[in-house]
Amino acid sequence: MEQRRLGRTDINVSALCLGTMTYGEQNSEAEGHAQMDYALDRGINFFDAAELYPIPPKKETQGRTERIIGNWFKKSGNRDKVVMATKVVGRSEMNWFRKNGEKSKLTREQIEQAVDRSLTNLQTDYIDLYQIHWPDRNQAGFGSMPTRWKDAIPAEDENSIQSTLEVMSDLVKSGKVRHIGLSNESAWGTMRYLAASDVFDLPRVVSIQNAYSFVNRTFETGIAEIARREDVGLLAYSSLAQGYLTGKYRNGALPAGARKTLFNRMQRYEHPRTLQAVDAYHALASEAGLDPSQLAIAFAKSRSFMTSVIIGATRMDQLETDIGAADLVLSDDILEKIDEIHQEFGNPAP
């Protein structure tokens, strides 16, 4: 498995990262443990979680994912073999994350509560990469890169980027966190974090975890240059468009046990233009004799601004297929055809 440098740190992470957000909902603890065993055996040393997980977020299940990982660390003794990433939630109406029932936001008290609970859940005394799941400020759209601007009214008690970074700095100094990263962040927000680091001598963000796939390449238009020039590499989530690019939902199919079938989410992928794009990429995979999932993952992995592509699965055969993309190198001809499809359909599911 190819290893890539995480930001400007001395940490190398696998080009594929194991996503875990199904553990505790769609996947049992035993299944999660089997996936981690398999991923580690195949050369993946990078796992990603969040205090929010599993998905969909619910008070009854929150924290299960981290606890499942923590039990695996304890049972396997493999903590030192894994670069562990997790996240603190940003501002939201959800009020079940904190002891006092307060709605989530990035105050010092809330961040400190979050990291201490994640450490307990994960049964570890340090987190390699602690990420801000989404900003404290109100945004035009979740995921940070909408294709249309919508004014967002600032919260009266908005916590500044500098204040958030100051809390993170203290966590790094304490040894609880090694490095910090962003998620669902914009170009403006990313640069403000970098500027605050420079001006106030605070820790530098080393990565950004945003959506990136055939049907959402908006990262390229606003943040890719930052990722390249500032060494804040992308950790891509939803590279399979939450399963749509696998082809399993084509023609209205609803496979048993699939996320769409269980939870009726992911409506962003159901626009006719998006479905047409999915069909076009699926046809390209068929023409090239490639698995459509591996085509999508290999494309994301090939981007110069990519540190690691996060993969997730509910079945072991899906995970095996996804990891099989690790050694796939796409030809210039296929890359050109991908760009031709993108030119026609653009970003229909940002």
Residues annotated catalytic, as ranges:
53
93/2 Cα distance (integer angstroms): 40
> Residue with structure tokens 């562990």?
84
| 107 vs 229: CA distance, rounded Å | 30
Half-sphere exposure of 149 toward its Cβ, with a 13 Å CA cutoff? 3
**Residue (of 183, 206, 199) closest to 13 by Cα position:** 206
Measured CA to CA in angstroms, residue 206 lies from 98, 219, 245, 274 at distances of 27, 16, 29, 32
What lies within 8 Å, CB to CB, of 101 at 6+ separation is 95
Helices 108-122, 161-174: crossing angle, 10 deg rounding: 40
In this structure, how many other beta carbons lie within 10 angstroms of the beta carbon of residue 220?
A: 17
Q: Rounded CA gap, 113 and 338, in Å?
A: 45
DSSP H helix total and E strand total for the chain: 12, 10
**Rounded Cα distance, 195 and 201, in Å:** 10
Cβ contact 68:28 at 8 Å: no
- Number of CB atoms found within 10 A of residue 113's CB: 18
